[in-house]
């Protein structure tokens, strides 16, 4: 297998993993919204299902951490690419585009006055 081919194989698997984590976050957020809506629409106590909500929000936290870890792995693979002769190769796939290094990045939520 040529370097370009194995680089693309790894890139495809990486992009698919990143996409799957984001999809799982979306689904979990939808579940949280549905649980909250059903409770409120039916006038149920917030105590009912509290442990379930804690479980789902814990899963979201874990998915957020998994997303951070896969982004770290992405950067590590990007750093390793030149060492195996893939320095100037652009890989194809969903999520292949990256922000410019000097572009402004969000720093978090701002508190409104």
Mean pLDDT for each consecutive 10-residue tract of the chain (113 residues)? 84 96 98 96 94 97 98 94 75 56 51 51
With 0-12 / 13-18 / 19 or more C-beta atoms within 10 angstroms meaning exposed / middle / buried, residue 98 is exposed
Confidence (pLDDT) at 77:
92
Confidence (pLDDT) at 113:
47
With 0-12 / 13-18 / 19 or more C-beta atoms within 10 angstroms meaning exposed / middle / buried, residue 11 is buried
Confidence (pLDDT) at 89:
55
């Amino acid at each position: 297998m040529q370097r370009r081919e194995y680089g693309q194989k790894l890139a495809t698997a990486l992009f698919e993993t990143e996409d799957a984590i984001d999809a799982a976050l979306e689904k979990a957020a939808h579940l949280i919204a549905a649980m909250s809506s059903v409770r409120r629409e039916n006038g149920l106590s917030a105590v009912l299902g509290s442990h379930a909500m804690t479980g789902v929000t814990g899963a979201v936290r874990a998915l957020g951490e998994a997303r951070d870890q896969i982004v770290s792995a992405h950067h590590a693979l990007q750093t390793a690419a030149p060492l195996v002769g893939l320095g100037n190769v652009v890989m194809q796939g969903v999520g292949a585009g990256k922000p410019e290094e000097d572009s402004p990045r969000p720093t978090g939520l701002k508190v409104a006055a």
